[in-house]
Amino acid sequence: MEKARAQWDNPLQFVFACISFAVGLGNIWRFPYLCQKYGGGSFLVPYIIMLFVEGMPLMYLELAVGQRMRQGSVGTWRTISPYLCGIGIASMVVAFFVSTYYNIINAWGFWYLFHSFQDPLPWSVCPLNANHTGYNEECDKASSTQYFWYRKTLHISPSIQENGGVQWEPALCLILAWLMVYLCILRGTESTGKVVYFTTLMPYSVLLIYLIRGLTLHGATNGLVYMFTPRIELLANPRTWINAATQIFFSLGLGFGSLIAFASYNDPTNNCQRHAIIVSLINSSTSIFASVVTFSIYGFKATFNYENCLNKVILLLTNSFDLEDGSVTASNLEQVKDYLASTYPGRYGELLPSIKNCSLESELDTAVQGTGLAFIVYTEAIKNMEVSQLWSVLYFFMLLLLGVGSMLGNTAAILTPLTDSKVLSTHLPKEVISGLVCLSSCAIGMVFTTEAGSYWFDIFNDYSATLSVLLIVLVEIVAVCYVYGLRRFESDLRATMGRALHWYWKAMWAFVSPLLIIGLFAFYVSDYILTGTLQYQAWDATQGQLVTKDYPQFALAIIGLLVITSIACIPLGALGTLIMHRFKRGGSAPVA
C-alpha cells in the first residue's frame, strides 16, 4: 500500500512556510536600493502594478498546480505531460545552484554575529600597522567597516584569477550554517512546519524594534524624505518598470519549485487563492516596511558622516587661521570660507586640498545593494549607535533567520522531488537524502570561502537563476494554459476548492503574464549582448576601493554553463522522454 503523503498540521503552517521563503534578504537589501535609484516614492507605482499583473497571478498558479498534483516540481510537470518533466528538473538545478551560494550569506551572518559580542565592535576602528605608528594603510584608505568586510571576513584576493586557499574561519561558519539547515529540514514538513513559526515571526519583531530605534536616531528623517520623495520623471524610464517586475518576480521565489513543493503538502480543498493573495501582499508590504527601517538608519549614517565632515573642516579652519573657538559653525561655514579665501588667498589656497566639500545630498546619494548594504552600510551605522553590541546582535540574528527561512524553501524544492521518487525513497530514508543534499551543497559551497570566493558568489548570484527562472515560469504558464488546458485546470480547481476561476486570473495566466515574461527575457538577453565583455568589481587593497575588471575567459565559460545547465534540462527532458518511449513501445510516442 502506498504511503499517504505528509501534510501541514494546519493551513497557517503552509502560509508561514511561504512567507518565510518569500520574505528574504532581497526585501532588506535590494528593494530599498531600487526604490532609491528609480524614483523614490514613485517607484511604488510600477511595483504595485507588477504585483497585480505578474507576482500574485503567477504565485497562485504555482500554488494551485502543486496542490492539484500533490507532487514536487518534477512529478507535477510529468503528470501534466511526460515531455515536460524537464521543467521540474530545471527548477531543481536552479534551486541547487542557489542553495550552494545562498548559505554562504548565513555563514557570513554567523561570523558577524560571533564578533558582535566584542567591545568595541571589531569593525568600529582600524587596526594599527606593524610598527604601531599609525593605522593600517589599507584600512586608513578605505574605512574600518570596509576593511573588516574585505580583509578580515573575505580575506579577498585582488582578482578572480588568484583563487587562494579555503579560509578556515568562513569554512567553519559555512559548515555550521548547513548543519542548522539540516536540523530544520531533517524530518520534512514535521520539522520545517515548526521552524517556520520562528523564522517568520522573529524577523518582524526585530524589524519593529529597529524601526522604533531608527525613527529616534538623529537624521532619520533625512533618509526617509530622500527615499520617499517622488521623482515622477523616472517613470518614463523603461528600466524602472523592468526592475519593478524583476523584483516582484524573484522576491516571491517563482520558478524555483519551492512554492509547488510547499503546496503539494496541502489538503486538496485548501483555498490556495486566498493564501497566494495573503503571501504576495505580506511580501510586498514587508519590502516597504524594511525600506522605512533601512532609510531611517541610512539617514542617521549620512547625517553622522556629514556632520563629522563639517566638524573636521571647522576644526581645520579654526586651527589654521587662529580663529576664536565657536566662531565658525555649520550655519556660517560657507561665509567664513569665502571671507578667508578673499582675505588670505595664499594661505587658503595651500589649505584648499585638505578642505572637504561636505554634502548631505552626496552622502545620501550613494546607492548600495546586496552585501555592501548588509555588511558595510548597516555596520557603519550600527558602530555609531549607543549600545552598539546589542543592535549588532539583533541585526545579524535577523539576517540569519531571513536566510534560513529562504533556505528552507530552496532545499524543499530539491528534496521534495527526490523523496517523491520511488527509486530513492525505497532505498534511502528521508534523513539520509536530506543529509546527502546538504553535504554536497556544503562541499561545493567551499569555493565561496576561498580568497576569490566573493567573486564566485557574485557570478552565482547574478547569473545562476535570472534567465533560467524567467524561461522556466514561461514554460510553466504554457504548460498549464495550453498543454493541460486552462478550461480543464479551471474545472479541477472548481471541483477541489468549490469555486469558479475569476476572469482576472485567466486573463493574467493566458495573456498578460506570459507577454510580460517574454519582454523581461528579451530585455536581459539584449542587455547581456549589448554590455559586451562582462565585468566585476574587484577589491584593490592599495587604493582601498573597488575597481572594475573584465571577467577572464574561464569565468565567462562558468557563467555560460550556469545558464545553459538549467535551461537545457527542459528540451533534454522532452528528448529523453521521447527516446525512452520509442524504445519501450516500439516507436509510439507518449500522450500528453
Mean pLDDT of 550-567: 94
Nearest partner of 282 among 252, 241, 262, judged by Cα: 252
Which of 210, 134, 186 is CA-nearest to residue 395? 210
* Farthest CA pair distance, the chain: 100
**Mean pLDDT, residues 451-469:** 93
Residue 4: pLDDT over 80: no
Question: In the predicted model, is pLDDT for residue 144 greater than 80?
Answer: yes
**Model confidence, pTM:** 0.91
Closest CA to 189 of 415, 422, 462, 501: 415
Q: Of all residues in the chain, what percent carry a pLDDT higher than 70?
A: 97
Are the C-beta atoms of residues 422 and 428 closer than 8 Å to each other? Answer: no
The Cα 304–Cα 382 span in angstroms is 12
Lowest mean pLDDT among 39-43, 207-211, 462-466, 499-503: 39-43
Q: How confident is the model at residue 481 (pLDDT cuts 50, 70, 90)?
A: very high
| CA distances to 22, 347, 414 from 200, in Å | 10, 61, 21
Asked if 313 and 355 count as a contact pair (C-beta separation under 8 A), the reply is yes
Task: Name the pLDDT band for 1 (thresholds 50, 70, 90).
Answer: very low
Single-letter residue type at 306? Y
Name the least confident of 366-370, 527-531, 534-538, 566-570. Answer: 366-370
Task: Determine the pLDDT at residue 345.
Answer: 86
- Measured between alpha carbons, how far is residue 383 from residues 379, 393, 584 in Å? 6, 12, 67
Note the pLDDT tens digit of each residue in 366-404: 666 678 888 988 898 899 899 999 999 999 999 999 999
First and final CA of the chain: distance in angstroms?
27
Name the strand (E) or helix (H) holding 571: helix 569-584
Of 244, 258, 160, 249, whose CA–CA distance to 466 is shortest?
249
Q: What pLDDT score does 189 carry?
A: 79
| pLDDT tens digits, 65-101 | 999 999 999 999 999 999 999 999 999 999 999 999 9
Mean pLDDT, residues 348-371: 80
Kind plus residue range of the DSSP H or E element containing 548: strand 545-550
For residue 474, pLDDT over 50 is answered with yes
Once rounded to an integer, what is the mean pLDDT over residues 534-563?
A: 93
pLDDT confidence of residue 524: 87
Q: What is the mean pLDDT of residues 547-573?
A: 94
Listed in sequence order, the residues at least 6 apart from 111 whose beta carbon sits closer than 8 Å to its beta carbon are 153, 169, 170, 173
Distance, CA of 222 to chain centre: 26
Q: How many CB atoms lie within 10 A of CB 309?
A: 17
Rounded to whole angstroms, how far apart are CA atoms 248 and 226? 23
Q: What is the mean pLDDT of residues 342-351?
A: 86
Q: What pLDDT sits at residue 227?
A: 82
Q: Each residue of 45-64: pLDDT tens digit?
A: 999 999 999 999 999 999 99
Residue 546 grid cell:
573597488
In this prediction, residue 320 has a pLDDT band, given cuts at 50, 70 and 90, of: confident
Instruction: Pull the grid cell for residue 506.
Output: 485567466
* pLDDT tens digits, one per residue of 485-529: 999 999 999 998 888 899 999 999 999 999 999 999 999 888 877
Query: What mean pLDDT comes out for the span 253-259?
Result: 95
DSSP string of 175-197, one letter each residue: HHHHHHHHHHHTTTHHHHHHHHH
Which pLDDT tens digit goes with each residue over 267-298?
Answer: 989 999 999 999 999 999 999 999 999 889 98
Tens digit of pLDDT for each residue in 163-195? Answer: 888 999 999 999 999 999 999 998 777 888 889
| CA–CA separation, 128 and 140 (whole Å) | 10
The pLDDT tens digits of the residues spanning 30-50 come to 888 888 888 778 889 999 999
Given a cut of 80, whether residue 531 has pLDDT beyond it is no
pLDDT beyond 80 at 588: no
- CA R_g for the chain: 26
pLDDT over 90, % of the chain: 63
Give dist(CA 563, CA 557) in Å, integer: 10
pLDDT band at 354 (very low <50, low <70, confident <90, very high): confident
User: CA nearest 63: which of 263, 270, 265, 278?
Assistant: 263
Set of cell numbers at residue 302: 549620512
Mean pLDDT of the chain: 91
The confidence score (pLDDT) of residue 202 equals 94
Q: How far apart are CA 118 and CA 116, in angstroms?
A: 6
What three-state secondary structure class fits 590?
A: coil
Contact status, residue 56 vs residue 546, Cβ threshold 8 Å: no
Q: What is the pLDDT of residue 590?
A: 56
Cell of 563: 545558464
> 200: which residues sit within 8 A by CB, 6+ positions away?
16, 19, 20, 23, 405
